[in-house]
Amino acid sequence: MPLEKPAIIPQANPKAGYLAQKTEIEAAIHRVLESGWYILGREVQEFEQEFAAYVGMPYAVGVASGTDALELALRGCKVGRGDLVFTVSHTAVATVSAIERCGATPILIDIDPETYTISPHRLEQTVQKFFQNPKFAQRLKAIIPVHLYGHPADLPAIMSIAGKYGMVVIEDCAQAHGARLENRMVGSWGDLGAFSFYPTKNLGCLGDGGLVVCKDPELAARMRALREYGWQERYISSFPGINSRLDELQAAILRVKLSKLEDNNQRRREIAHTFDQTLATTAIHAPAVAADVIHAYHLFVVRCEQRDRLRQALLSQGIGTAIHYPFAVHSQPAFRHRVLTGVGGMENTDKICREILSLPLYPELGDDEILRIVRALARWK
């Protein structure tokens, strides 16, 4: 009788995260259902306070998604039509979509080839170029560094550039809950930090959700109004807003999961360390970690010149993978020949898109599954 093939190890497994805290999550859901209050109530208020304290920022505003978090952060800073916002092309398309939804113009910058985050050198060259053009000098409004895969961008350099040219910094922390640079949480460096709680994130809900943290009470109040039609008084819109509210159920679930985030991130780092040790003896490149960084390892992304062959080899051994992201934003049909790119082109971005591969990584990976992955990687030639 032929041996049964082992089950596929998925690249991500949000159901495992639910099962790990099933009792507490279901109790939180029951609490909300019994309360009779389902939108912008006590659970959202409590979660906003708890998450702001965790990040080290005074204010937090819960919204409906990570994309909305970026849009409302931009609109809260009065970024609008004709304004320039600098970010990367190697990111989820949501980053650039949020900029365009405000009417602003995204300028896409190449990345550092080791950390995959925005290159401060290319950023400064590009900002300087636009600043020297009288047509654009007054339109330089914001920088959105993306802490991709859980690795912080070079925030000291980015904050310096922003200060020099009078721009706000909105950190895209969608993949970096709990990551730190110089022992300081991402989200607490810039003027604002935008988070996603999509189910696969390090801190993920059982639906969609997002949140913005900031330092300024007036800005927080403006974003609270923006998320609900521009209401400062119920049913009276003081300015145009949208409907983007984090609901009570998701907030209650996130409060449960926040209590385990640090432990789960530590487990991610332990698994990543095991992978790193194996990859040191192969032709597969492990992710780099800059000095003074505590990586959140939302994803464990390797590079391989024969990426597609590696992917098939792992799949044949029951190991699922993913590609984050197969096409940079500037190469996608909706944006190609339309978005502006920065000084120096997109050499690093284009190169890594051909080589990157995300391995399975989530806190609930069992030791036997980790061993299977390690053995498969060690066999790669």
The yes-or-no verdict on residue 254 having pLDDT over 90 is yes
Distance CA(335)–CA(337), nearest Å, equals: 6
When the pLDDT of each residue in the chain is averaged and rounded to a whole number, the result is 97
- Pick from 370, 375, 339: nearest CA to 84: 339
- DSSP lists the bridge partners of residue 193 as 171, 213
Q: What is the pLDDT of residue 167?
A: 98
Distance CA(95)–CA(120), nearest Å, equals: 18
Q: Could you read off the pLDDT of 16-31 as tens digits, one per residue?
A: 999 999 999 999 999 9
Q: Could you read off the pLDDT of 341-359 as tens digits, one per residue?
A: 999 999 999 999 999 999 9
Q: Could you read off the pLDDT of 306-340 as tens digits, one per residue?
A: 999 999 999 999 999 999 999 999 999 999 989 99
Q: What is the pLDDT of residue 194?
A: 99
- Residue 177, both tokens: 């809950």
Q: What is the pLDDT of residue 49?
A: 98
Block residue for tokens 């974003």 = 223
Torsion of CA 338, 152, 182, 202, to 10 degrees: 140
Q: What is the pLDDT of residue 2?
A: 53
Q: Could you read off the pLDDT of 106-120 as tens digits, one per residue?
A: 999 999 999 999 999
Percent of the chain with pLDDT over 90: 97
pLDDT tier for residue 6 given thresholds of 50, 70 and 90? confident
pTM: 0.97
- Residue 114, both tokens: 């080791």
- Residue 126, both tokens: 């590009």
Cα separation values, 203 from 18, 186, 265, 268, Å:
11, 14, 10, 13
Distance CA(239)–CA(122), nearest Å, equals: 37
* In the chain, domain spans: 1-381
Percent of the chain with pLDDT over 70: 99
The third-level CATH classification (topology) of the domain covering 1-381 is Aspartate Aminotransferase; domain 2 (3.40.640)
Please give the backbone phi and psi of residue 60, each rounded to the nearest 5 degrees, phi first: -140, 145
pLDDT tier for residue 3 given thresholds of 50, 70 and 90? low
Question: Would you list the DSSP string of 182-236?
Answer: TTEETTSSSSEEEEE--TTSSS--SS--EEEEES-HHHHHHHHHHTBTTEEETTE
pLDDT tier for residue 15 given thresholds of 50, 70 and 90? very high
Q: Could you read off the pLDDT of 131-161 as tens digits, one per residue?
A: 999 999 999 999 999 999 999 999 999 999 9
Distance CA(156)–CA(182), nearest Å, equals: 10
Pairing label, strands 356-359, 300-303: antiparallel
Region class of 50: left (phi > 0), else alpha (psi between -120 and 50), else beta? alpha
Region class of 91: left (phi > 0), else alpha (psi between -120 and 50), else beta? beta
Q: What is the pLDDT of residue 190?
A: 98
> Can you give the C-alpha Rg of the chain in angstroms?
21
The yes-or-no verdict on residue 1 having pLDDT over 60 is no
The yes-or-no verdict on residue 78 having pLDDT over 60 is yes
What average pLDDT does this structure show over 27-48? 97
Distance CA(182)–CA(185), nearest Å, equals: 8
Q: What is the pLDDT of residue 381?
A: 74
Pairing label, strands 293-294, 180-181: antiparallel
**DSSP helix/strand/coil, 237:** strand
Question: 223-235: b or e for each residue (b if 16 or more CB lie within 10 Å)?
Answer: bbbbbbbebeeee
Helices vs strands, H then E, count in the chain: 13, 15
Q: What is the pLDDT of residue 276?
A: 97
Q: Could you read off the pLDDT of 200-252 as tens digits, one per residue?
A: 999 999 999 999 999 999 999 999 999 999 999 999 999 999 999 999 999 99
Q: What is the pLDDT of residue 187?
A: 98
- DSSP lists the bridge partners of residue 62 as 211
Q: What is the pLDDT of residue 4?
A: 65
Please give the backbone phi and psi of residue 112, each rounded to the nearest 5 degrees, phi first: -70, 130
Query: Is the dihedral angle over the CA atoms 109, 112, 118, 119 positive or is it negative?
Result: negative
Q: With beta carbons less than 8 A apart as the criterion, state whether 147 and 153 touch.
A: yes
Residue 157 one-letter amino acid: A
